[in-house]
Amino acid sequence: MPNVLDRSQSIAPSLKPGKDLAQPQPSDADPLRIGGLTRLTSIDYPGELAAVVFCQGCPWRCRYCQNGDLLDDDSGGGISWSEVRGFLEHRVGLLDGVVFSGGEPTAQRALAAAMREARSLGYKIGLHTGGAYPQRLSQLLPLLDWVGLDIKALPEDYPSVTGVPGSGEQAWESLRLLLAAGIPLEVRTTLMPGWTPDLVGELAKTLADAGVSNYCLQACDRDHTLDPRLAAGQPARTGLTAQVRPEWFSSLSSRGTWL
């Protein structure tokens, strides 16, 4: 899932609820709760020009979350799927893909119908997910062209990040499903303040051994975290990533502002 940093780097402003978009026929995707829409981005779907649909709701409360306004199931101020669909209908041929992000998109049962509608318009489908619902993810696999999956920690360390017991097992099961399906995948890890080089190295090696080939290490934006106590920490990039070997991955990248 992109954080505030990702959205601020998008090359077009986000669409707010409006009255000037077409109102198509009702569909199974209409219940999808959407907190926002980025109309054009070149950074949220590798190699593609895309729109990003920010789905409302997430079962986790990661300490470094940048999207606090998307965590509740219903913010009350979102955009309807019919508005998004109308927008997408008018951008056919101008955009390559649609990324469903959040929040946690797979928290909503209407996601599959929305993906099918976007595919029917000719768009490639991207998904940003933390992997909180592996069973639902397994049903979405035939609809996905690319996935950005957050792996936040080793399974046993997840509750210290998400605040939710068992969240690590869910995320790592989602990783297993995506690797088995062979869907183009970027795995991302946000480096928590206070982590050690040993911990980061062990996590990266475990991911490489699991079959992850495209890995991105993300800086923690300590100015906009759900847990304000994170602002007191200061991770050092060179120290934290010193034990991550580039040769473990086909692609190893970093994202964000390193302090």
Which residues contact ligand SF4 (rule: CB under 6 A)?
Answer: 1, 58, 60-62, 65, 67, 71, 102-104, 130
Shortest Å, Cβ 69 to ligand SF4: 10
Shortest Å, Cβ 162 to ligand SF4: 6
Question: Would you say 39 or 188 has its CB closer to ligand SF4?
Answer: 188
What lies within 8 Å, CB to CB, of 178 at 6+ separation is: 137, 141, 147, 149, 185
Shortest Å, Cβ 153 to ligand SF4: 12
DSSP per residue, 171-225: HHHHHHHHHHHT--EEEEEE--TT--HHHHHHHHHHHHHHT--EEEEE---TTS-
Question: Would you say 36 or 103 has its CB closer to ligand SF4?
Answer: 103
Q: Are 14 and 7 in contact (CB under 8 A)?
A: yes
Shortest Å, Cβ 62 to ligand SF4: 3
Question: Would you say 14 or 27 has its CB closer to ligand SF4?
Answer: 14
Question: Would you say 61 or 224 has its CB closer to ligand SF4?
Answer: 61
- 10 Å CB burial of residue 33 (0-12, 13-18, 19+) is buried
User: How large is the greatest C-alpha to C-alpha distance in the chain, in angstroms?
Assistant: 55
Question: Would you say 87 or 158 has its CB closer to ligand SF4?
Answer: 158
Instruction: Give the chain's length.
Output: 259
Shortest Å, Cβ 250 to ligand SF4: 25
CA atoms within 13 A on the CB side of 170: 22
Shortest Å, Cβ 128 to ligand SF4: 8
Shortest Å, Cβ 150 to ligand SF4: 6
| Tokens found for residue 70 | 């998307």
**In angstroms, what CA-CA distances link 250 with 101, 155, 186, 190?**
25, 23, 11, 19
Q: Are 95 and 77 in contact (CB under 8 A)?
A: no
Question: Would you say 85 or 222 has its CB closer to ligand SF4?
Answer: 222
Question: Would you say 97 or 148 has its CB closer to ligand SF4?
Answer: 148
Q: Exposure pattern of 75-90 as b/e (b: 16+ CB <10 Å)?
A: beebbbbbbbbbbbee
